[in-house]
Amino acid sequence: MIQVALENVSKIYGKVQAVQSVSLDVQQGEFFTLLGASGSGKTTLLRLIGGFETPDTGCIYIGGKDVSRLPAYKRNVHTVFQDYALFPHLSVFENVGYALQAKRSPVAEISQRVTEALKLVQLAEMAQRLPAQLSGGQKQRVALARAIVDRPDVLLLDEPLSALDAKIRMELRQELKQLQRQTGISFIYITHDQEEALALSDRIAILKSGKLLQVGTPLEVYEQPADLYVAEFIGRANFLDGMLLSVDGNRGRVQIGETAVVEGTVVEGTTAAISPGNAVRLVVRPENICLNHANIGHATTIIQSQYLGYATSYLVQAIGLNFHVMELRRRGTSPYKEGERVFISWEWMEALIFSTN
């Protein structure tokens, strides 16, 4: 069932098209992430869904109802921000119960719901503390408990982990996912961290300059990026600029420099068709490159070899270019050494060719 739907939503600030004709659906109980660089329109989109902004064009539906002109407090939607915005003079319990208190819910019900929410964020023991007596991660847990205590249909989260240090961020990332699964609330989550997006999301929407480039599962956006920008933004990759020589089905041959020829899958862009003679960029991920001594592919020299335990990371030079290669450790083999001469190859299906015209 669709929980939130946007139809051709646009928002303009002066000369800035913050959000440009965005259409998307978020399912009930889905962990949905808006991913994009700073200034790509993520917060504006969230504020439109939350009712803090009104769209210039288009419609927003929550639970099938058109809420485009409905103020924030009439939408069953809560928002969690990067800065926890707790009341400093109220205890953890009172902070979490604040909205229920304001609605004059019965005391027994408040107590039961707040206790349950605090349990969900592992803060049952800290109900009587003041915010000043908590760590950053704990404060953000209180903010989360407060946001879910009256079971909204949708929870909007604007980079809620970005103020925390790396270790706490990883811990809270796991808990956030668990919280979403346990409550079944639809989460719309903002991040500019592509790894966080891959780890948490059921689906990811990638934004650039207010435009939606692709919506897909983590696997889809990583393995089948619809656009060169998406391929560059998500994960690591090697980029080879050249000219498309020929296409057979979707198997393309690309000339790199004067003489080298490599192969990949031609990705039909949403805009222009791609044909021989076009300037293209071939994208191949480090883990899809195979190093071998069997004369397959192009001759190369290992420039750098970094043993990481679970994998070895290489910098190699072939066809006049540097490549980053990642090989998972296999038992009984030893990593290639710096200066060693090997061959570099990849399956044509594992590399993607985009037009750069």
- Binding positions for ligand ADP, rule: CB under 6 A: 13, 16, 18, 36, 38-44
Least separation in angstroms between CB 47 and ligand ADP: 8
- In the three-class reduction of DSSP (H, G, I as helix; E, B as strand; rest coil), residue 198 is classed as helix
**Residue in 33, 43, 140, 265 binding Mg ion, rule: CB under 5 A:** 43
DSSP notation for 139-196: HHHHHHHHHHTT--SEEEEESTTTTS-HHHHHHHHHHHHHHHHHH-PEEEEEES-HHH
Token output for 140: 């953000």
Q: Which is nearer to ligand ADP, 23 or 292 (CB)?
A: 23
Q: Which is nearer to ligand ADP, 44 or 300 (CB)?
A: 44
Q: Which is nearer to ligand ADP, 122 or 162 (CB)?
A: 162
Least separation in angstroms between CB 172 and ligand ADP: 20
Phi, psi dihedral angles at 298 (to 5 degrees):
-105, 145
Number of chain residues interacting with Mg ion (CB under 5 A): 1
Least separation in angstroms between CB 18 and Mg ion: 10
* Closest residue by Cα to residue 128 from 163, 152, 92, 162: 92
Q: Which is nearer to ligand ADP, 19 or 226 (CB)?
A: 19
CB-count burial class (<10 Å; 0-12, 13-18, 19+) for 7: middle
Q: Which stretch binds Mg ion (CB under 5 A): 7-15, 40-48, 244-252, 289-297?
A: 40-48
Contact flag: residue 33 with Mg ion (CB under 5 A): no
From the list Mg ion, ligand ADP, none, pick the one residue 40 interacts with, judged by a Cβ distance below 5 to 8 Å according to partner type: ligand ADP
What are the strands, taking DSSP E only, across the chain?
Answer: 2-13, 16-27, 31-36, 57-62, 65-66, 77-80, 154-158, 186-191, 203-208, 211-216, 238-248, 251-256, 260-266, 279-284, 290-292, 298-307, 311-318, 321-328, 341-345, 351-355
Least separation in angstroms between CB 52 and ligand ADP: 10
From the list Mg ion, ligand ADP, none, pick the one residue 16 interacts with, judged by a Cβ distance below 5 to 8 Å according to partner type: ligand ADP
Rounded Cα distance, 256 and 307, in Å: 30
Q: Are 88 and 129 in contact (CB under 8 A)?
A: no
Q: Which residues contact 154 (CB under 8 A, 6 or more apart)?
A: 3, 4, 26, 49, 62, 76, 77, 78, 185, 186, 187, 188
Q: Are 341 and 300 in contact (CB under 8 A)?
A: yes
Least separation in angstroms between CB 284 and ligand ADP: 29
Q: Which is nearer to ligand ADP, 191 or 265 (CB)?
A: 191
Window 254 to 273, contacts with Mg ion (CB under 5 A): none
Least separation in angstroms between CB 86 and ligand ADP: 22
Q: Which is nearer to Mg ion, 43 or 68 (CB)?
A: 43
Q: Which is nearer to Mg ion, 43 or 305 (CB)?
A: 43
From the list ligand ADP, Mg ion, none, pick the one residue 41 interacts with, judged by a Cβ distance below 5 to 8 Å according to partner type: ligand ADP
- In the three-class reduction of DSSP (H, G, I as helix; E, B as strand; rest coil), residue 114 is classed as helix
Q: Which is nearer to ligand ADP, 46 or 142 (CB)?
A: 46
Least separation in angstroms between CB 15 and ligand ADP: 9
Write out the H or E segment, with its range, that includes residue 333: none
Least separation in angstroms between CB 67 and ligand ADP: 19
Binding site for Mg ion (CB under 5 A): 43
